[in-house]
């Protein structure tokens, strides 16, 4: 869709001088809500989100990109949002993740490493009658259908 393409250009233009920030996703919902998810290697603050929102909103209005009224929301991806980019995996090394792979199997463990082709997690494997063991599992990005960071309240 043309709207998403223009919004992507506007966001990238606004963060061009901020190499630590990156665009994750743009969604135009049927209810005319435009959602932009931006993140940073060290997170992103509310001022950055507001500046991106002002920049995108101003240009969308100026260029009359959207004919109907719309809501614009700029934020970092929520805690429950799946990881979409390798860069998001990189910033979550050391955290516990839940990885759903082709076929529906779910593997949980600490994210140890990220390469161009996949990830390595340290998973607890418990066989009946034995003590749980920590086992490294390599998972190809091609086999991952969804990865979420697990939040611990311990």
pLDDT at 154 over 90: no
Residue that is written with structure tokens 């500046």 in the block: 51
Domains: count for the chain: 2
* Cα–Cα separations (whole angstroms), residue 25 to 8, 37, 86: 9, 5, 13
Q: Does residue 81 lie within any of the structural domains?
A: no
pTM: 0.84
Provide the CATH number for the domain around residue 41: 3.30.300.70
Q: Does residue 98 lie within any of the structural domains?
A: yes
Residues of the domain holding 123: 86-149
At 1 the pLDDT is: 57
pLDDT at 126 over 80: no
Looking at the fold, whether 6 and 71 belong to one and the same domain comes out as yes
pLDDT digits (tens, 9 = 90+) for 105-114: 999 999 999 9
pLDDT digits (tens, 9 = 90+) for 4-54: 999 999 999 999 999 999 999 999 999 999 999 999 999 999 999 999 999
Nearest to 86 by CA among 42, 40, 117: 117
Q: Does residue 62 lie within any of the structural domains?
A: yes
Q: Does residue 154 lie within any of the structural domains?
A: no
Q: Residue 147: CB partners within 8 Å, gap ≥ 6? A: 82, 83, 89, 97, 98, 99, 100, 119
Residue 110, both tokens? 């600490």
Looking at the fold, whether 97 and 137 belong to one and the same domain comes out as yes
């Amino acid at each position: 869709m043309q709207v998403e393409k223009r919004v992507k250009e506007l966001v990238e233009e606004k963060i061009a001088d901020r190499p630590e920030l990156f665009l994750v996703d743009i969604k135009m919902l049927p209810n005319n809500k435009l959602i932009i998810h931006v993140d940073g290697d060290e997170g992103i603050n509310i001022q950055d989100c507001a500046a991106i929102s002002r920049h995108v909103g101003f240009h969308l209005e100026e260029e009359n990109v959207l004919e109907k009224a719309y809501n614009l929301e700029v934020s970092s991806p929520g805690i429950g949002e799946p990881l979409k980019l390798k860069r998001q995996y990189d910033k979550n090394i050391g955290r516990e993740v839940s990885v759903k792979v082709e076929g529906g199997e779910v593997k949980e463990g600490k994210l140890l490493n990220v390469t161009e082709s996949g990830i390595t997690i340290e998973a607890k494997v418990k066989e009946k009658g034995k003590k749980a063991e920590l086992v490294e599992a390599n998972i190809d990005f091609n086999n991952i259908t969804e990865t979420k960071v697990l939040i611990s309240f311990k």
